[in-house]
């Protein structure tokens, strides 16, 4: 059975001067999740937001807050993002010395745990984590900036992760983030993705365009 496609607009591409309104707008436009990109200027070459902003945004939507931590070291900040209202916390294997322990901490906080694979990180990195994770995120760009072009080689990785998920027999979301638009979304879905992160493609055109943008990404 093919899973339904969930759209997770990345607020990295939202109007930061109106962030609460933007979250409400994409919620009302049909977003399934709210994707929050957290960058520290160290693990990735950009700085975005911290737990206080997540906490401030939490009252603006009841949708799943899908918080992607691109920070290192990541472990000292897990509790703060959990308390701020994250529902899913996704981390990179490279962002701490013990990825399994990091996942255990996320789960102990009562949150869903995700692992993100950069373009150069192999799918096999998930081999001994499949029993623990709730989400696998394949980065189809090098993380750090919005508006980049989709890296085609990541389609093979999406396919490999899909096979691993299916073999596990567990309910694990397969998310793809980077360069997702109306042209690349169908390719990511065909490769096995069931959650699409889209920033520029969602927020293009302003609030009146969000519902149609989301509908087109979903392919409905």
CA 129/CA 132 separation, integer angstroms: 6
Annotated ligand binding at 205? The verdict is: no
Annotated ligand binding at 30? The verdict is: no
Annotated ligand binding at 144? The verdict is: yes
The closest of 47, 101, 88 to 71, measured between CA atoms, is 47
Q: Is 166 noted as a catalytic residue in this protein?
A: no
Annotated ligand binding at 194? The verdict is: no
Spell out where the chain has E strands: 6-9, 33-39, 64-70, 88-91, 112-117, 135-139, 173-177, 195-198
Annotated ligand binding at 147? The verdict is: yes
DSSP, res 47: B
The catalytic position among 32, 37, 40, 194 is: 37
Cα 142 to Cα 85, 93, 150, distances in angstroms: 26, 15, 9
Annotated ligand binding at 68? The verdict is: yes
The catalytic position among 27, 32, 40, 177 is: 177
Q: How far is CA 78 from the centre of its chain?
A: 16
CA–CA–CA angle 34, 37, 193 (5° rounding): 65
Strand 135-139: give its sheet, edge to edge: 6-9, 195-198, 173-177, 135-139, 112-117, 88-91, 64-70, 33-39
CA 148/CA 140 separation, integer angstroms: 9
Q: Is 177 noted as a catalytic residue in this protein?
A: yes
Q: Is the distance from CB of 200 to CB of 177 less than 8 angstroms?
A: no
Annotated ligand binding at 179? The verdict is: yes
Annotated ligand binding at 35? The verdict is: yes
Q: Is the distance from CB of 70 to CB of 92 less than 8 angstroms?
A: yes
Annotated binding site for a divalent metal cation: 35, 37, 68, 177
Q: Which residues are catalytic?
A: 37, 177
Annotated binding site for substrate: 10, 68, 144-147, 177-179
Annotated binding site: 10, 35, 37, 68, 144-147, 177-179
């Amino acid at each position: 059975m093919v899973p339904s496609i969930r759209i997770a607009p990345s607020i990295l591409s939202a109007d930061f001067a109106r962030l609460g309104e933007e979250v409400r707008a994409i919620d009302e436009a049909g977003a399934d999740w709210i994707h929050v990109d957290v960058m520290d200027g160290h693990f990735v070459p950009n700085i975005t937001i911290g737990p206080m902003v997540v906490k401030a945004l939490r009252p603006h939507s009841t949708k799943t807050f899908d918080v992607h931590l691109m920070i290192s070291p990541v472990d000292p900040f897990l509790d703060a993002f959990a308390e701020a209202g994250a529902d899913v916390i996704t981390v990179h294997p490279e962002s701490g010395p013990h990825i399994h322990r990091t996942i255990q901490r996320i789960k102990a906080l009562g949150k869903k745990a995700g692992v993100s694979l950069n373009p150069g990180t192999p799918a096999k990195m998930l081999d001994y984590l499949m029993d623990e994770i709730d989400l696998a995120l394949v980065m189809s760009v090098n993380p750090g900036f919005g508006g980049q072009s989709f890296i085609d080689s990541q389609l093979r990785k999406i396919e490999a992760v899909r096979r691993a998920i299916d073999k596990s027999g567990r309910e694990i979301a397969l998310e793809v983030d980077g360069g997702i638009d109306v042209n690349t979304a169908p390719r990511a879905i065909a490769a096995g993705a069931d959650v699409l992160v889209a920033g520029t493609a969602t927020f293009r055109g302003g609030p009146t365009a969000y519902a149609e943008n989301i509908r087109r990404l979903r392919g409905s």
